[in-house]
A and B are shown apart, each in its own frame.
Chain A
Amino acid sequence: MKYIDEFRDGDLARGLSAAIKRAADPSRRYHFMEFCGGHTHAISRYGVSDLLPDNVRMIHGPGCPVCVLPVGRVDMAIRLALECGVTLCTYGDTLRVPASDSLSLMKAKARGGDIRMVYSSADALKLAQQHPEKQVVFFAIGFETTTPPTAVAIKQAQALGLKNFSVLCCHVLTPSAISTILESPEVRQWGTVPLDGFIGPAHVSTIIGSQPYEFFAEEYRKPVVIAGFEPLDVMQAILMLITQVNEGRAVVENEFSRAVTREGNVKAKNLVAEVFELRRQFEWRGLNMVPYSGLRIRKEYAAFDAEKRFPVDYVSVADNKACECGAILRGVKKPQDCKLFGTVCTPENPIGSCMVSSEGACAAHYTYGRYKDYA
């Protein structure tokens, strides 16, 4: 495939691997967090860690939208379908996230809930147009990448005067999650999570640009390299991070210049600002309540807010006590450190959300890398 295979070239990978080995100082260790699930997936699927020297370790970050979705939010979606009788449209990844009462959206569907998998907010909007007799709710999750399409759907629903379309808004913000990790005692105080730099998001950055990360580089002295989701992108970014660390620099660099600018997509950002506003706080799985980290629908568009239209309130639900998803999402633990990993928690029967999406750290390690645990 043109424009794809070039970024998965094995010969170039070997060259980069050798360059990384040359650049990495054998007398020290390097710990980099890839924020995004997309990077986690690429690293596992292409076996990137096999091409890195032993003293370069990748820590999986919380950038998997399904993984950070708290149980209480999935419960709301399930109540909308089962108790309020709406047609709930959701992205596929969300279907298997474990919720309260041993339910998931998939299981709620089997109990008679009208739950449909869609590829985009536009599909949900179309469904509402085709079925004026049904109340259609779009379960809007994800980081800045999926937020603009949700805003477009709401604007279009308003323009069409649709009375049967609304959105359960669970959109979250990347920079707040990064700050939370940097502010966590494990990183800042105790040093139990050594963190020498970040691989910055690919698709999120196409929207918000590279500018928002400058604060982290300056304030926390952590280099950030924004990278695409192809395996060569990831390796190039690792090399750039090592170089910054070696030179004692901490700046934002952009490996993904074919898609990301400093300002990002201004039109998309304006659209998001028009439809959404910051929530005072939002609960994340693993990070708990994070101030100003989630979005809600502005009152001008309240008619399309499922939380206002239907009697569903958010109730916080504690995770399974033995589940280490929280610590894994903060980079404190590895999937293999969790007692449930691969025993009671598998992709077929996920206990924690990190085992659900292919972008989750546990699912990626289970699906692609667990042979290493037996080596």
Chain B
Amino acid sequence: MSEVKRGYVRPLDIKNGRIDLSHGSGGRAMAQLIEELFAAAFDNEYLRQGNDGALLPVPTGGRLVMAADAHVVSPLFFPGGDIGCLSVHGTINDVAVMGAKPLWLSASFIIEEGFPLADLKRIVESMAAAAKEAGVPVVTGDTKVVEQGKGDGVFITTTGVGIVPEGVSLSGDQARPGDKILVSGTLGDHGMAIMAERESLGFSAPIQSDTAALHGLIEALLASGAAVRVLRDPTRGGLATTLNEIARQSKVGMMLEEKALPVNPEVAAACEFLGLDPLYVANEGKLVVIVAPEDAERALTALRAHPLGAKATTVGSVHEDQHHFVQMTTAFGGKRIVDWLTGEQLPRIC
């Protein structure tokens, strides 16, 4: 940092301090913030190089995958997680659903003037813990500060790089008629955790977000040898939107069984209360797997053997359909379309 003797520089006042514009100015205040907060939390050999970019070894074999994800969640802290770990998990999952082993992350912060340093520290530490647990280091980053009122606390954009081994080829256009559709667990937990917090629903047992890094689960699934065609993490727009994307890319139709959809009772209740459909509510730690029919059982066994896939189940199948409709047999016995999400999920008023 500066050449000023250590003892003469007052450390960051984490307890009562707030971000001000100087923290994004490129001067000493910014250097101090980076050194005392970010570098200390994310510490790794690449970050320690201390250059504008991280110098990384070129992996041998396979193909590179790169994915970016911006995070603007509100509230910043919610039951089961916060924007910090979410920004790590989200990008790792985008890389991992390509069948890749995630290697490195970048993290860029846009912080609003006045944001409490204590909250920033909490977020950064949560991020660092998530990265450490996942074994995917944050190797480079950036910090900008915007005036009060021009941001909403903090926005975090992460980019992930990973490597797909030879022989693995997953893509949204590979679903074929006859394939089975699996999900790795309950639907809608993340979205409803956020909604319940935002609307102060005050459930006696708060709904926990499912935010988690899925690369371990995916590795176990692919290691089982099951002929997996497509992997996706059904985030915004939920399972319904993800399946519509795949149906369009693969030019197929899909049929879900409403009875088979796993939904936590608290999530189902909260959805009912707010007039929402769990099929359209975001997940941050769930996997959609499209797999050849003969390998569905093998894939399920592999998923269920992993803690993040214990509740994995088959929810439907793929068929030929020139209209690429995703449909559902309702628990009631009728049929209906499961359409793309329109706008926001709007509450019903009467």
Contact = CB atoms under 8 A, between A and B. Distances in A.
A370 B339 CA distance: 10
Interface in B294-350: 323, 325, 327, 330-337, 339, 342-344, 346-350
Contacts of B349: 65-66, 91-93, 141-142, 146
B334 A47 contact: yes
B142 interface: no
B237 to A, nearest CB: 13
A367 B327 CA distance: 10
B331 A10 contact: yes
A335 to B, nearest CB: 14
Contacts of A17: 333
A203 B333 CA distance: 25
A185 to B, nearest CB: 29
A8 B332 contact: yes
Interface string A298-326: 00000000000000000000000000000
Interface string B116-153: 00000000000000000000000000000000000000
Interface string B36-50: 000000000000000
Contacts of A231: 332
A143 B347 CA distance: 16
Contacts of A359: 348
Nearest to B339: A367
Interface string B268-312: 110010100000000000000000000000000000000000000
B256 to A, nearest CB: 13
Interface string A343-372: 000011000000001110001001111110
Chain A contact residues, majority secondary structure: helix
B59 interface: no
A93 B332 contact: no
Interface stretch (A37-45, A215-223, A239-247): A37-45
A368 B337 contact: yes
A145 interface: yes
Interface stretch (A48-56, A175-183, A253-261): A48-56
B272 A4 contact: yes
Contacts of A146: 349-350
Given A93-B349, A142-B349, A367-B342, A14 B333 contact: yes
A347 B332 contact: no
Given A1-B268, A92-B347, A204-B350, A119 B199 contact: yes
A46 B334 contact: yes
Nearest to B323: A374
Interface residues of B, number: 27
A13 interface: yes
Interface in A182-235: 203-204, 231
A143 B349 CA distance: 10
Contacts of B337: 367-371
Given A1-B268, A96-B343, A41 B335 contact: no
B136 to A, nearest CB: 37
Nearest to B344: A92
A88 interface: no
Contacts, number: 102
B61 interface: no
Contacts of B265: 1
B346 A348 contact: no
A369 B269 contact: no
A125 interface: no
A93 B348 contact: yes
Contacts of B348: 38, 41, 93, 357-359
Interface string B203-218: 0000000000000000
Contacts of B269: 1
A297 interface: no
A238 interface: no
Contact of A46 (B259, B323, B330, B342): B330
Interface in A117-158: 119, 141-143, 145-146
Given A13-B333, A51-B332, A65-B350, 5 more contacts: A47-B330, A119-B199, A347-B339, A363-B342, A368-B339
Interface of A: 1, 4, 8-10, 13-14, 17, 36-38, 41, 44-51, 65-66, 91-93, 95-96, 106, 119, 141-143, 145-146, 203-204, 231, 347-348, 357-359, 363, 366-371, 374
22 contacts: A1-B269, A4-B272, A10-B331, A14-B333, A46-B334, A50-B333, A50-B335, A51-B332, A93-B346, A96-B343, A119-B274, A119-B347, A142-B349, A146-B349, A146-B350, A348-B342, A368-B337, A369-B336, A369-B337, A370-B337, A371-B323, A371-B335
Interface of B: 199, 259, 265, 268-269, 272, 274, 323, 325, 327, 330-337, 339, 342-344, 346-350
Pick the 4 closest A-B CB pairs, nearest first.
Answer: A47-B334, A347-B342, A50-B334, A368-B336
